[in-house]
Structure 1
Amino acid sequence: MYETLTFTGGVHKSEELKELIEDLGGFILQENVFQMDLVLNMAIPLEDVKKIEEKSKELLGKVSVAPMAGSEIVIVSPTLARHHLPHAACDISEYLREYGAKDNMIGLARGDGKGTSGITEEEKKLIEEHDLAIFALGSFKQCIIDKSFLFDDIDIPVIVTGAPDIPLEELPGADAYVGGLGRIPRRLRRGPDIRALDKLVETAEEILNNKKREMVHDAPLVPPIVVKNAIEHQVPAINDVISPLPVTGQLDGVRVKLDYDKYHEEIENVIVDGKKLSELAEIKKSFMYDYILVKIYSESSLIQ
């Protein structure tokens, strides 16, 4: 078992930390450098967390548990229009990244107005490629309730956000509701905004942790981070991808940012624990830019 951690500190001597992660059999999930500051998300064997904490203290940095690291979250906005996306949805995205999440943003094609809003099957399938969906809705209670059909049959956990307080039972299909995050025409920088964002992070972490606990009873055949590492070392084309996180970890697989038609056979032939990846996972075309989606089979799949 691995623990996902975030190191925050200086770039100076950070190579020593990376070498220690490798020596312990851990993995670097994501690395972000901001001038002289480094934010490093990692997965470490549970028994070696103390060693990472000691090394981080030596480097004058700090380590925190990052429950959302190694997961992919989608933030869904009713439209790409200016009054929906630029403020609350973007600030939610930025805030989640601070806690180790890899998130994508989707604007629905027909989300404006109660009477004309809608969601297509392709949009649903794209949303369901993620570990968790956050529907960032508006400021009016009845409008949010009326739009519950957008997510009432989404087959992954769903968090709904909006401005008013709404009982969860009035939102069929939602696993949680977080208020105080409506359609705000400014950045979310005030006290109530930050408290609402903190509540959203707490809710997302709780849902992802619950999902991880459920997966323990029927775990993937191999950990996604092992698959991620194997692809990065065995597929040279990964080195030419300029998009962030060319191999994005999920709770039950990875998203590979290579064209499916051109590279799926190479991904299928990646060797993991002495087997071809095609024997351990379903490899299919993603609804996102025709990327490659790898969903690892669970242990129960071996039972005939």
Structure 2
Amino acid sequence: MYETMTYTGGVHKHYEIEELIEDLGGFILQKNESQIDITLTIAVPSEDTDKIEAKAKELLGSVELSPLASTEIAVVSPTLARQHLPHAACDIAEYLRRYGTKTNMIGLARGAGKGIAQINKEEKDLIEEHDLAIFSLGSFDDCIRKKKFLFEDIDIPVIVTGSPEIVAEEINANAYVAGFGRIPRRLKRGENIRALKKLVKTSEDIISKQKEELSDDPLIISPVIVKITLERELPSIKDVNAPMAIVSQLDGVRVKLPYDEYYKEVANVVVEGYRLGDIAEIKKSKMYDHILVKILPETSIL
């Protein structure tokens, strides 16, 4: 099992921590350099995180766990209309990205009011391709409660945000974070930042719990290893213009290549001695016909 972490330190001697990551069998997922500082998003074996912490201290840098790194989160609004999408949903998606996750914004087709709000199967299937869904709702208690059918049967963890204080269990959500709602401006004030930080902490707690559950029946191959291998073995990935051509998830990866054209090529890639098509479910995504790879647990091959 790999643990995702973020290292921040000076450029001087940063190669030492990169060499340590490689020696431990870890990976650098993302690297950002400024004139004097460097930030690394890394994945290392869980049992070796103390070695990374010791090296970071030696280099006068800092390192912290990043549970949201290598995950994909859906930020869902009842509609794409201005009363729902800006500004809370946009700022939620942008703020979560700072913690290493990949966010996708999804607007439902018929959610303009509590009386006509709906979600269809295709929208539900698209949301369920993610590790976590955050439903960005409005400012009225009654409206939020009457829209709970939008998410109560979603088969992934759901966090609901809105303005009033509501108990999550009352709306069949995994968590509820107040302090949002229909805010006609950017979320830059103190109370807004505190609400965003609480949302990040809630998301990290849910993702960490999912990782613990996965450790009870580990995946055959880590999604991080699959991602690195596909980036190395698929020449077509270099031609993808979208940011993050391959997105890591808790139980797989999203490959931003057309399914019909590249399905067989992806399935035939060998990862640590396994043909990927033999150890994963490979299917067409509801998002732009991408390739969705869901890795099977170890018990599936016993």
Deviations 1:221-276 (A, max 9, x none): 11111111111111111122222221111111010111111111110011012121
Structure 1 Cα separation of the partners of residues 45 and 186 of structure 2: 38
Equivalent position amino acid for 1:218 in 2:
D
**Which residue of 2 is the match for residue 46 of structure 1?**
46
Structure 1 Cα separation of the partners of residues 35 and 261 of structure 2: 36
Secondary structure of 2:218's aligned partner: coil
| 1:293 Cα offset (Å) | 0.3
**Which residue of 2 is the match for residue 141 of structure 1?**
141
- Structure 1 gap ranges (5+): none
- 2:263 counterpart of 1:264: yes
- 2:295 counterpart of 1:301: no
Call closer, same or farther: CA 1:36–1:244 in 2, change over 3 Å: farther
Structure 2 Cα separation of the partners of residues 175 and 21 of structure 1: 35
Secondary structure of 2:143's aligned partner: helix
Secondary structure of 1:194's aligned partner: helix
**Which residue of 2 is the match for residue 245 of structure 1?**
244
**Which residue of 2 is the match for residue 226 of structure 1?**
225
Call closer, same or farther: CA 1:273–1:149 in 2, change over 3 Å: same
| 1:83 Cα offset (Å) | 2.2
Secondary structure of 2:70's aligned partner: coil
Secondary structure of 2:147's aligned partner: helix
Contact kept, 8 Å, 1:30 with 1:245, in 2: the verdict is no
Equivalent position amino acid for 2:186 in 1:
R
| 1:16 Cα offset (Å) | 4.9
Q: Which runs of at least 4 in structure 1 moved beyond 6 Å after TM superposition? A: none
For structure 1, which segment, 38-47 or 275-284, has the greater mean C-alpha deviation from structure 2 after superposition? Answer: 38-47
Equivalent position amino acid for 1:184 in 2:
I
Secondary structure of 1:76's aligned partner: strand
**Which residue of 2 is the match for residue 183 of structure 1?**
182
Structure 2 Cα separation of the partners of residues 241 and 13 of structure 1: 33
Structure 2 Cα separation of the partners of residues 14 and 110 of structure 1: 51
| 1:187 Cα offset (Å) | 1.3
Call closer, same or farther: CA 1:284–1:35 in 2, change over 3 Å: farther
| 1:60 Cα offset (Å) | 4.8
Contact kept, 8 Å, 1:247 with 1:254, in 2: the verdict is yes
Contact kept, 8 Å, 1:134 with 1:161, in 2: the verdict is yes
| 1:45 Cα offset (Å) | 1.8
**Which residue of 1 is the match for residue 276 of structure 2?**
277
Contact kept, 8 Å, 2:165 with 2:178, in 1: the verdict is yes
Deviations 1:53-75 (A, max 9, x none): 34444555421110111211111
**Which residue of 2 is the match for residue 156 of structure 1?**
156
Call closer, same or farther: CA 1:182–1:37 in 2, change over 3 Å: farther
Equivalent position amino acid for 1:215 in 2:
L
Structure 1 Cα separation of the partners of residues 181 and 39 of structure 2: 30
Contact kept, 8 Å, 2:2 with 2:222, in 1: the verdict is no
For structure 1, which segment, 76-85 or 147-156, has the greater mean C-alpha deviation from structure 2 after superposition? Answer: 76-85
**Which residue of 1 is the match for residue 4 of structure 2?**
4
Deviations 1:153-207 (A, max 9, x none): 10000000000001223202x1111111111111112221122112111111111
* Number of residue pairs aligned between Structure 1 and Structure 2: 302
Equivalent position amino acid for 1:239 in 2:
K
**Which residue of 1 is the match for residue 118 of structure 2?**
118
Contact kept, 8 Å, 2:137 with 2:161, in 1: the verdict is yes
Superposition RMSD on alpha carbons, in Å? Answer: 1.9
**Which residue of 1 is the match for residue 207 of structure 2?**
208
Structure 1 Cα separation of the partners of residues 255 and 74 of structure 2: 16
Structure 1 Cα separation of the partners of residues 13 and 80 of structure 2: 42
Q: Share of identical aligned residues, percent?
A: 62
- Structure 2 gap ranges (5+): none
TM-score (normalizing by structure 1): 0.92
Equivalent position amino acid for 2:243 in 1:
P
**Which residue of 2 is the match for residue 170 of structure 1?**
170
Call closer, same or farther: CA 1:195–1:44 in 2, change over 3 Å: same
Equivalent position amino acid for 1:183 in 2:
R
- 2:70 counterpart of 1:64: no
